[in-house]
Structure 1
Amino acid sequence: MRNPYSDIFRAPGTKGFAAAAFIARLPIAMAPIGIVAMLSQTHGEYWLAGAVSATYALVNAFLSPQVSRLVDRLGQSAIAVPTTLVSVLSFAALIAAANQHWPIWTLFLAALLAAAMPSIPALVRARWTEIFRNRPELYTAFAFESAADELVYVAGASLSVGLSAALFPEAGMVVSTLLLALGSVAFLLQRSTEPPVRPAEQAATGSVIRLRPVQIITFALIFVGATFATTEVTTVAITKQLGQPEAASLVIGVYALGSFVLGIIVGALNLKAPLQRQLAVAVAVIALTTLPLLFAGTVPTLAVAVFVSGVAISPTFITAFGLIERHVPPAMLTEGVTWVTTGIGIGMALGSFAAGWMVDTFGPQSGFFVSVAAGAVALATVLAGQRRLATSDYDPDGDEAAVPAE
């Protein structure tokens, strides 16, 4: 049987930019939970740790589409280089503020400026799309990237928490910042695969968020993202309560392991069911598997429940990005893809803050109630939007592809 993944990596330059992008996006998982792990140890308050982490994630979620919109207009290198530099320097300031116990406002200011970090998942998917546009290999490439996203959460979040627990509170954030700098440089130096700047087409001069399918997917993924952050924050709190804080790294690590495996399988199968139905099934699984989390009272049962709750994450990403690619004009693809990650980022910000408040107010286990509620809202949104998400509704020459001018 032919391996579809070997086919996509035969294209020149794909191995290089895929490897560099993996390193560059590790901070997506490492930074939010790294901030929580760092500040909960240096300052001893989960609400503060969650609030600073939420500030970073929420501002990044709102800034990323604007950065990606500039990328579509001016090119990846022209925009990603300065924004990455600002982010790296700001993360360094945040680490120093936590270590030296600078005033609380400096933590929030540094987190806010660090949010200038560009969306590496969007940049790398734009490169794949440029290579395989309108070809079946693009689905496989998106599946690979979704699986890579899961590895980022397996390795990134686990590494961040593990370093902070084993070495010193700021260790996770130090490594995260170094990986962001080195990975981004390696990625952006590969100019041969950088997509060319395309002129706006078919009146596509406004923001893609005005398209109804993009709105539906983004809103749904806000609540999917909330389940991620809630699981991470609550896991850290529960394992600490059980007297096994070092186990948080392992539990968070298994969270995305099942999803990684399933994502690889889904990408190889190239399922024929309509993408909007695949998305509904994946989100339904996410919603249902949040329920066992409420009853996990030991580290082993917590690890099993967390593993099960993560199995549908990668299929959700694959179908969401696939729908975006079909509904968004090519000249605005980077922004379109970024809105998907923006939804996740907003959800992680809100979920982190909500879970932190629930943990402080009602105890560690109560944080998972946020996951249950978020999963239910995500499922309701996707089910209600099935007709508008149908890719057969997409007409490159019709209104669906035309974004109103601002």
Structure 2
Amino acid sequence: MVPTARRLSSAAFRTAAGPRPGPPPRGTGAGPAAPRRTNDTDHTDHTDHPDDGAAEAASGPRPSPRSLLAPYRRLFAVPGAAAFTLAGLVGRVAGSMLGVGMVLMIATVRDSYALAGAVSATGLAVTALTGPLLGRLVDRHGQARVAVPAVAVYALGATAMLLCVHYGAPAWALFVCAVGSSGVPSLGSMTRARWAAVHRDDPAARHTANSFEQVVDEVCFMAGPALAMVLCTAVFPEAGVATAAVLLVVGTLLFAAQRRTEPPPRTRATAVSGSGSGSGSSGAEGSLARSPGLRVVVLTFLATGAVFGSMEVATVATVESYGHGSASSAVLALQAAGSCVAGLVFGALPVRGSAATRFLAGVAAMAVAALPLLAANGLATLTPLLFVAGMATAPTMISGMTLVHRLTPPTRLNEGMTTVYTGLLVGISAGAAAGGWTVDHLGPHAGYTAPATAAALALLAAAGGAGRLRRSLG
């Protein structure tokens, strides 16, 4: 047994599971629409104009300072919204448990963090490769028809992994099981797809839904890894992965059963009609990578993911250097709380300016907020700085997902969002590695050099591509 459970931080190991925030792909098609009001402004999902903020604001209620939750109550007034949200939440918490549970299980039973990290990295690589492919299948065939068989394959792979670990199978068998249990469509992505469908004629409601989903992501990645750690250390090593597998299967099946809010799959007719949608899109069957605007977002999210991955590693190392290693998870949870607060407020306020401008402003705020972390000299200064840094996360992610929605043909939203999500995923892995190298070679107090550098690169990518982004949006 490896006696290092106290040193394990949920956020440090969730980089092995895949991205934190990060909202993956959306769905497509025309689902049930919210009732339109006489002052609604008719905008498509994939166009952007200099005054789109005013149009979006006009299409939704302007919340008063005393009623910031009113837009969120309006979201759940749609029949079936609460049902698919709660069903998806079960599986999304499970997804956030997998990385930590896998690392702890293998490291504890096999007494090797190197093996645990390698197996987890293999699963991460397969997820990055299969994500866009599964997104395309969801677009073509529908959420239930793809998610149910995919989660069945996952269940077989996870069961095989548990048996191999428990009965001491060779190391190569663990890698095979990791490959077999890595191709599950993201419930967070499909939840966003449903919001996009039920509010397809209401940009303000879609903005609020994006904000709500970002907050849900943060909550899941605070609660899930902590639950996995407790199960693995207090029950038995395989308990975290076993519980996550059960919850993921149950959550996916419950989500797939909510058929009335499921976006219809793309048909040949909609694929043809969607091929010209969006000036920055590449058509129904071409490569989405041909969109200059989408490439800008992917590159920016690659650097943004590096911010997330390196900041988590740097925070764990820095807090331990202060002599408060057991507080690492709480400190990182405070950073996520800052993102939650900002996301809730951002989603309730009326939208101002274009989506491209909001995205650039969010990335700039993220870069600025990372700099003061270099001057932290104790827990009392680090925690508020991390809270402020976290507040820049949600608006950046929300604006970025809005851009992807507009840059991608409506018949390929799942694929488009997963493509961007893959960039975030790769960035998190690279950022975690860069953060670890920085801590090892420059010391824990220099650890925040890595996220500050990554944030500067994200700003450079967003600012340098701002012109192409606006031209792609039209």
TM-score range, shorter chain: 0.7 to 0.9
Q: State whether structure 2 residue 177 is matched by structure 1 residue 110.
A: yes
Q: Structure 1: which amino acid aligns with 2:254?
A: A
Query: Aligned equivalents of 2:186 and 2:131: distance in 1?
Result: 6
Residue 289 of structure 1 aligns to a residue whose secondary structure is helix
Pairing of 1:224-239 with structure 2 (within 5 A): 224-237=304-317
Alpha-carbon offset, residue 55 of structure 1: 2.5
Query: Aligned equivalents of 2:252 and 2:107: distance in 1?
Result: 28
Pairing of 1:298-377 with structure 2 (within 5 A): 301-358=381-438, 367-377=447-457
Query: Aligned equivalents of 1:164 and 1:240: distance in 2?
Result: 22
TM-score, with normalisation over the residues of structure 1? 0.86
User: Which residue in the other structure is 2:196 paired with?
Assistant: 129
Tell me which moved more, 6-15 or 101-110: 101-110
Tell me which moved more, 198-207 or 47-56: 47-56
Identify if the C-alpha distance between structure 1 residues 344 and 170 changes in structure 2 by more than 3 Å, giving closer, same or farther. farther
Alpha-carbon offset, residue 256 of structure 1: 1.0
Match of 1:20 among 87, 103, 115: 87
Pairing of 1:145-160 with structure 2 (within 5 A): 145-160=213-228
Q: Is the 8 A contact 2:150 2:183 kept in 1?
A: yes
Alpha-carbon offset, residue 24 of structure 1: 1.5
Match of 1:180 among 238, 241, 248: 248
Identify if the C-alpha distance between structure 1 residues 330 and 169 changes in structure 2 by more than 3 Å, giving closer, same or farther. same
Query: Aligned equivalents of 1:51 and 1:88: distance in 2?
Result: 21
Q: Which runs of 5+ in 1 are unaligned?
A: 396-406
Any idea what the Cα deviations from partners look like across 1:340-381, whole Å, max 9, x if unmatched? 322221222223344445556665555544322322211111
User: Which residue in the other structure is 2:368 paired with?
Assistant: 288
Identify if the C-alpha distance between structure 1 residues 169 and 375 changes in structure 2 by more than 3 Å, giving closer, same or farther. farther
**Number of aligned residue pairs:** 394
User: Which residue in the other structure is 1:394 paired with?
Assistant: 473
Q: Which runs of 5+ in 2 are unaligned?
A: 1-63, 276-282
Q: Is the 8 A contact 2:293 2:472 kept in 1?
A: no
Match of 1:142 among 210, 213, 218: 210
Q: Structure 1: which amino acid aligns with 2:219?
A: L
Q: Structure 1: which amino acid aligns with 2:176?
A: L
Tell me which moved more, 214-223 or 241-250: 241-250
Q: Structure 1: which amino acid aligns with 2:451?
A: S
Q: Is the 8 A contact 2:291 2:472 kept in 1?
A: no
Alpha-carbon offset, residue 382 of structure 1: 0.9
The structure number with the bigger radius of gyration is 2
Match of 2:257 among 173, 177, 189: 189
Residue 427 of structure 2 aligns to a residue whose secondary structure is helix
Query: Aligned equivalents of 1:101 and 1:360: distance in 2?
Result: 32
Q: State whether structure 2 residue 165 is matched by structure 1 residue 86.
A: no
Q: State whether structure 2 residue 296 is matched by structure 1 residue 216.
A: yes
Identify if the C-alpha distance between structure 1 residues 121 and 340 changes in structure 2 by more than 3 Å, giving closer, same or farther. farther
Q: Is the 8 A contact 1:72 1:335 kept in 2?
A: yes
Q: State whether structure 2 residue 134 is matched by structure 1 residue 55.
A: no
Alpha-carbon offset, residue 194 of structure 1: 0.9
Tell me which moved more, 312-321 or 246-255: 246-255
Match of 1:247 among 327, 330, 337: 327
Query: Aligned equivalents of 1:30 and 1:177: distance in 2?
Result: 9
Identify if the C-alpha distance between structure 1 residues 213 and 121 changes in structure 2 by more than 3 Å, giving closer, same or farther. farther
Alpha-carbon offset, residue 305 of structure 1: 4.1
Q: Structure 1: which amino acid aligns with 2:363?
A: V
Identity percentage of aligned residues: 37
Alpha-carbon offset, residue 75 of structure 1: 1.0
Tell me which moved more, 91-100 or 120-129: 91-100
Any idea what the Cα deviations from partners look like across 1:135-165, whole Å, max 9, x if unmatched? 1311111111122112122222343345445
Tell me which moved more, 310-319 or 19-28: 19-28
Query: Aligned equivalents of 2:435 and 2:351: distance in 1?
Result: 35
Q: Structure 2: which amino acid aligns with 1:218?
A: V
Alpha-carbon offset, residue 332 of structure 1: 0.9
RMSD: 2.8
Alpha-carbon offset, residue 101 of structure 1: 5.1
Query: Aligned equivalents of 2:226 and 2:241: distance in 1?
Result: 12
Q: Structure 2: which amino acid aligns with 1:324?
A: V
Tell me which moved more, 209-218 or 244-253: 244-253
Identify the structure with the greater helix proportion: 1
Tell me which moved more, 292-301 or 5-14: 292-301
Query: Aligned equivalents of 1:224 and 1:301: distance in 2?
Result: 24
